[in-house]
Amino acid sequence: MSHDDLLSLGAWVLSRRLARRELSAETLVRACLARIAEREPELQAFVVVDAEGALAQARALDAGALRGLLHGLPLGVKDLFDTAELPTAYGSPIYAGHRPAADAAAVALCREAGAVVLGKTVTTEFATFHPGPTRNPHHPEHTPGGSSSGSAAAVAAAMVPLALGTQTAASVIRPAAFCGVVGYKPSFGRVSRAGVKSLSETLDTVGGFGHGVRDAALLGAVLTGDLRLLQWQDAAAPRIGLCPTPEWPQADADTQATWAQAVAALAPLAAEWVDAALPAGFATLVPLHKAIMAHEAARALAHERLRHREQLSPALRSLLDDGLAVSGQVQAANQAAAAPLRQQMDALFARHDVLLAPSTLGTAPAGLQATGDPLFCRAWTLLGLPCVHLPFSRGANGLPVGLQLVGRHGDDHRLLAWAEWAMQRLVR
C-alpha cells in the first residue's frame, strides 16, 4: 500500500490494523514523516517535528504489547499543551525554548493509550486571535482558522491522523470547518485541562481533530475515559432541532447552500425535523461570551500582561485591556445571566436529541492576517455543550464548508453516534 493510500484510511481503520499487527507503528510514522516532508514547507503546521523521537516510540510499541486505543497512532499536539520532551511556547515569543517539567494530562493520557507524539502544532498567540504562520491545506493563501490552526491543517493534509486542540470561542470547530475535517469539542469539564495554558477558566475546553467522526470519537474516548463514545454503530435516527441561531443573517451564500444540502439529505430520514424554540435570552449569549472571555483572559495572562506587554501582539493587548475594563462585579453578573440559559437549553434537549447549527460564516477567508469570525460558536462554548463539526460540502470557491451538531451537556456519546449517522447520509 502506498503512503497516500495508507494515510487516507483515518485513525479508526488504522487503529484496527495496528491492533491486529497488520501494520507496524514504524511504517505509519514513516508515512506521516514523508507527508510532512512533502507539505510542511508550504503549510507550516508544526512548530517542531520530533522525527527521531517518534520513530523510537514506534519501534518500542512494535516490540511490545498493545498499549491501548491509540496504539501506534501518530498524534499532533497543539503548542498550548505542556510536553516534557518537546518545547512548549504557547504561540508566543515570551516562551521561546520553554521546556515544561511534565506532560499536560491530555498528552499523558494519549501516550498511555499508545499514541506516538509526532510533534507540536502551531497555535495562535495564547490561543487568541493573532495568527501563526500556518496556511490552509486546500488553498495556501487562505487562513486555516484558529486557534488550533496547526492541528486542523495537519490532520487535513494527512500529516497525522489525530491532533489535540482547544476551544475557548471557536478554536476547534472553526479550523475544522475551514480545513475540512471533523472537530470534536467535548462537554465543558469532561477532559482535564491540567498542563494546558489557561486563557479562560470557565470556557477553555480540550478537544481534537480526525478525518471522520469515528476517528474523533476514538481520541475522545481516551481523553474522557468514556468508552461509550465508541458505541456509534447503528444509531437510531435522531430528533433534530434546526438552530440557525439569531446570527443566521450573517451567514454567507456558501453556508446557506450547505444548510439547504443538509435539509435535503437529512430531513426525510430524521425521526423528527423541526425548528428549535430557543430560550428568549439566547441572543445575549454572544456578547456575554465576549465579556466573560476578555475578563478571564486579562487575569489568566496577568504575568504576561505585566511583565512582557511589549512582546504581546496589539490584538492581544487590546483584548486584555477590554478584559480589565470588565469589573469583577460585572463578571459575576454576566455569569449569573448565563446560568439560567444553560438550564433552559438542557430542557430543550427533552424535545430534541441534537441541534443542527452553522459552524462558520462561510469558507475560510482569504489572507493570513486573521483566523475568521468565531460568531457561530461563541454561544455553544459559553453554554458548555458538546459540538461536532461535520465536513461534507464545498463552497463556490472549492474550499470546505459544513455544519455542526450540538448535544446536551454530558451526552457526548450520543452526540457522536448521531454525528456518524448524519455523516453517513450527508456524504454519499
Under the banding of pLDDT at 50, 70 and 90, the label for residue 150 is very high
d(C-alpha 47, C-alpha 33), whole Å: 14
> Which residue's entry shows cell 453516534?
417
Spatial contact of 39 and 156, defined as CB atoms under 8 Å apart: no
Q: What is the mean pLDDT of residues 233-252?
A: 95
Question: What pLDDT is stored for residue 234 in this prediction?
Answer: 79
d(C-alpha 426, C-alpha 428), whole Å: 6
d(C-alpha 209, C-alpha 194), whole Å: 20
Q: What is the mean pLDDT of the chain?
A: 97
Under the banding of pLDDT at 50, 70 and 90, the label for residue 404 is very high
> Which amino acid, one-letter code, is at 84?
A
d(C-alpha 38, C-alpha 129), whole Å: 28
For the chain, give the percent of residues with pLDDT over 70: 100
The per-residue pLDDT for range 28-68, each reduced to its tens digit, is 999 999 999 999 999 999 999 999 999 999 999 999 999 99
For the chain, give the percent of residues with pLDDT over 90: 98
Q: What is the mean pLDDT of residues 310-338?
A: 98
**Residues present in the chain in total:** 428
Question: What pLDDT is stored for residue 420 in this prediction?
Answer: 97
Q: What is the mean pLDDT of residues 387-397?
A: 98
Q: How many CB atoms lie within 10 A of CB 163?
A: 29
| Bridge partners, 119 (sequence order) | 49, 76
Spatial contact of 153 and 165, defined as CB atoms under 8 Å apart: no
Q: Is the pLDDT of residue 298 over 90?
A: yes
Question: What pLDDT is stored for residue 403 in this prediction?
Answer: 98
215: nearest Cα among 170, 140, 292, 160: 160
> Which amino acid, one-letter code, is at 177?
A
Question: What pLDDT is stored for residue 148 in this prediction?
Answer: 98
The per-residue pLDDT for range 86-134, each reduced to its tens digit, is 999 999 999 999 999 999 999 999 999 999 999 999 999 999 999 999 9
DSSP type of residue 408: -
Q: Which ranges in 81-227 belong to alpha helices (H)? A: 105-112, 149-156, 173-179, 213-224
Q: Domains of the chain by range and CATH?
A: 3-230 (3.90.1300.10), 239-282+335-426 (no CATH)
Q: Is the pLDDT of residue 428 over 80?
A: no
**Among all residues, which ones are annotated catalytic?**
78, 147, 171
Question: What pLDDT is stored for residue 233 in this prediction?
Answer: 78
Non-local CB neighbours of 425 within 8 Å, separated by 6+ positions: 265, 266, 269
Going by their DSSP bridges, the two strands 239-242 and 354-358 should be labelled as parallel
| Cα Rg of the chain (Å, integer) | 20
Helix (H, G, I), strand (E, B) or coil at 136: strand
Question: What pLDDT is stored for residue 49 in this prediction?
Answer: 98
Regarding pTM above 0.95, the answer is: yes
